């Protein structure tokens, strides 16, 4: 059966990047795990928060990480040069926790402190 991990987090992207983000997600559709993506139904102002949350088989974490790599690498849409930023928390059934920090077109992965209180 395998082990599972809980993934939850968000990306902050420009509203103008929505179509590109939707296309990345659509192009790599997974019948089970793509349902974890959520866009606001009525975004406002200039920042769009793209969320992901779900329990995912550990073997499929690479699939999700690859989507985030592609989303993180989206080019800026204006002269500000702002790229997607975000934070994802991955906890596993063994009590481990990892953070995926999205910044400057890349993802930095770091072990995080014990977050056992999330399971209580």
Of 22, 74, 115, 79, nearest to 88 (Cα)?
A: 115
Contact yes or no for 47/15 (Cβ under 8 A): yes
Mean pLDDT of the chain: 91
Q: Sorting pLDDT into bands at 50, 70 and 90, what band is 118?
A: low
68-96: pLDDT as tens digits = 999 999 999 888 888 999 999 999 988 88
- Among left, alpha and beta (phi > 0; psi -120 to 50; other), residue 36 is alpha
Q: Which domains does the chain have, with CATH numbers?
A: 4-119 (3.30.70)
Confidence (pTM) = 0.89
pLDDT digits (tens, 9 = 90+) for 4-16: 999 999 999 999 9
The confidence band for 119, taking pLDDT boundaries of 50, 70 and 90, is: low
pLDDT at res. 114:
63
Mean pLDDT for 30-47 is 90
């Amino acid at each position: 059966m395998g082990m599972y991990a809980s993934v939850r987090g968000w990306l902050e992207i420009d509203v103008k990047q929505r179509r590109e983000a939707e296309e990345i997600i659509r192009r790599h559709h997974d019948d089970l795990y793509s349902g974890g993506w959520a866009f606001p139904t009525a975004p406002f102002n200039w920042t769009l928060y793209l969320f992901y949350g779900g329990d995912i088989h550990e073997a499929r974490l690479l699939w999700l990480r690859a989507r985030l790599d592609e989303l993180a690498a989206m080019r800026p849409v204006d002269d500000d040069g702002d790229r997607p930023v975000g934070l994802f928390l991955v906890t596993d059934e063994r009590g481990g926790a990892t953070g995926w920090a999205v910044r400057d077109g890349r993802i930095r992965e770091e072990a995080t402190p014990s977050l056992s209180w999330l399971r209580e």
